[in-house]
Amino acid sequence: MKVLQNKRVQQFLLLSFGLSWGIAAIYYLAGGRLTSSSALLVLLLYMFMPMTAAIILQKFVYKESLKKPLGIYFRPNKYFVIAWLFPFITAIGTLGIGLLIPGVEFSPGMEGLLETYGKALSPEDLELMKEQIAAAPIHPFWLALLQGMVAAITVNAIAAFGEELGWRGFLYKEIGESGFWQTSAFTGIVWGIWHAPIIIQGYNYPDAPILGVGMMMIFTLLYAPIFTFIRMKSGSVIAASILHGAINASAGLALLLLKGGNSLLVGSLGFSGFCMLLLVDIFLFFFIKKQKIP
């Protein structure tokens, strides 16, 4: 790709990947695993490395402003709202598509979820959890939806900003002139590869970690045009951070009411989620005219 000839892009990729992958390597060699109590802290640190790379280059190497070039604007517009709600809407659509897969059933009692994650519980605790679900005044799906919507614009968005200042801030600034689809494709590939060290350790695809690297790249490629659209229309990397935070908050919704299948087939990061995103990308293809990103 022509964008790889951009020296600033080269520097950003080397620095952001070097920092993130270095953290993952040190943690793994020190005996840390995703099941370790310290894993969440390490994952958060990993997420903030693209932002760190962007700030180092933009502020200290190039001696340029951060706010305007990287799109750090907090004034909301309608695209902030779209970014917030979109992942939750598509998660529900993904749940519906998942029901079309052979062997996947609707499970209002959340039997599928309990079967998958209940293995770590004693029979007594598992039975108690089933009773609590049955006696709850509001179904856990709706509770998860409400909690996710709050998390999407608070803690999740803050954590996602660690990535987005790199992908939809610095990288967007440097390659945006190449056009909507090339920007989306390049960012999607980079973003997907960046996840590789943690995906290989079982993150998101615990039953298929190696194949999961490719699945994650498909997911980021399909979502990248949507991110580019939100970043372009909102004019703000904050809106992209909200979108990212909402994705992380809503991903589990597409699995809560399903039984059967696996991480490669159902859920937002599986085949059913890919089908949902592909439909959105097709719509964007006809909606977005060939243009340079302003």
Q: Is residue 12 part of a domain?
A: no
pLDDT digit string, tens, across residues 25-74? 999 999 999 889 999 999 999 999 999 999 999 999 999 999 999 999 99
Q: Is residue 213 part of a domain?
A: yes
Q: Is residue 184 part of a domain?
A: yes
Percentage of residues in the chain with pLDDT exceeding 70? 94
Residue 137: strand, helix, or coil = coil
Q: Is residue 211 part of a domain?
A: yes
Q: How many CB atoms lie within 10 A of CB 45?
A: 16
**What pLDDT is attached to residue 71?**
98
Domain coverage including residue 198: 69-287
Decide if pLDDT at 176 tops 80: yes
Decide if pLDDT at 282 tops 60: yes
- With residue 125 as reference, give the H or E element that holds it: helix 123-135
Please state, in angstroms and rounded to a whole number, the distance separating the CA atoms of residues 255 and 158.
Answer: 25
> What b/e string do you get for 109-127 counting C-beta neighbours within 10 Å, with b at 16 or more?
ebbbbbeeebeeeeeeebe
Q: Would you tell me the crossing angle of helices 155-164 and 237-250 to the nearest 10 degrees?
A: 120
Please state, in angstroms and rounded to a whole number, the distance separating the CA atoms of residues 275 and 267.
Answer: 11
Is 239 in contact with 230 (CB distance < 8 Å)? Answer: yes
DSSP output for 190-229: HHHHHTHHHHTTTSS-TT-HHHHHHHHHHHHHHHHHHHHH
Closest CA to 198 of 53, 54, 35, 16: 35
Number of domains in the chain: 1
Length of the chain: 294
Which of 78-92, 108-122, 208-222, 252-266 bottoms out in mean pLDDT, i.e. has the lowest? Answer: 108-122
> Does the pTM exceed 0.75?
yes
Beta bridge partner(s), residue 259: 105
pLDDT digit string, tens, across residues 109-132? 887 777 765 555 567 766 777 777
Q: Is residue 4 part of a domain?
A: no
Q: Is residue 91 part of a domain?
A: yes
Please state, in angstroms and rounded to a whole number, the distance separating the CA atoms of residues 185 and 191.
Answer: 10
Q: Is residue 158 part of a domain?
A: yes
Q: Is residue 18 part of a domain?
A: no
